[in-house]
Every structure is written in C-alpha cells, then in structure tokens.
C-alpha cells in the first residue's frame, strides 16, 4: 500500500523477513515491571534496622552501612549478594516502626 495512506490512518509499515506488518503509531508498549514493584522500590529505609525472617532476627551489620538509605530493591540485592537466597524470588516488605524491624514477605508459588 501507499505510505501516504498509512500516515493518514496513523499507522506505519514494519518490514520483517517474512512479511510486512501494519502497526499503529500510538501503540503503548507494556513495561516488564509491574506498578507494585516500582511502588515498593520507592520506599526507603535508613539503616540501622533489623531484618526478621525465618523465625529469627538476622545479623546484617556486615551488609549495610549505618545512616545510609536503602530502597526495597537495594535491600533485596544486598541480601542476595550475601547468600540469603530466600530473596531470589518476589519479595515485599513490612516495616514495624515501633521495633525498627523490617519483615520480608516472600511470595510462594502454588503447584497444581
């Protein structure tokens, strides 16, 4: 077809090895990250905080710097780098202000 017609319709021609495809110019490409993950990574926590999971409070003094701010995604990466493999999946955090404790909540996948 004529490229002028595609301009009028708000479309562009995309050529591939197999065939030409018509794609709308206004098509929105979805992001690979979801909004909940972006929201959770925007929360910041100032160390020293305690991390409690698996029924005990973990010693993380060697991982974090006192007085530094960390987002949830930075905490997750730091914990993974120090062989806390529980943080390899999807993790959200609950913060208990009164006790200054950060509680990771791990998403469990159900089988079947």
Q: d(Cα 82, Cα 80) in Å, to the nearest integer?
A: 5
Q: Are 62 and 84 in contact (CB under 8 A)?
A: no
Rounded CA-CA distance 23/103 in Å is 46
Confidence of residue 36 (pLDDT cuts 50, 70, 90): low
pTM over 0.75: no
Decide if 106 contacts 88 (C-beta within 8 A): no
Query: Phi first, then psi: what are they for 94, rounded to 5°?
Result: -115, 130
Average pLDDT over the chain reads 76
Q: What is the pLDDT of residue 18?
A: 53
How would residue 63 be classed by pLDDT, with cut points 50, 70 and 90? very high
Largest interatomic CA distance in the chain: 68
The predicted pLDDT at position 40 comes to 47
């Amino acid at each position: 077809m004529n490229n002028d017609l595609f301009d009028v319709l708000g479309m562009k021609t995309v050529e591939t090895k197999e065939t030409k495809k018509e794609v709308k110019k206004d098509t929105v490409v979805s992001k690979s990250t979801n909004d909940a993950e972006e929201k959770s990574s925007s929360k910041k926590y100032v160390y020293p905080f305690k991390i409690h999971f698996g029924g005990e409070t973990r010693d993380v003094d060697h991982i974090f710097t006192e007085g530094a701010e960390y987002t949830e995604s930075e905490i997750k990466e730091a914990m993974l780098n120090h062989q806390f493999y529980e943080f390899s999946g999807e993790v959200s955090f609950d913060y208990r202000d009164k006790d200054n404790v950060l509680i990771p909540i791990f998403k469990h996948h159900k089988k079947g």
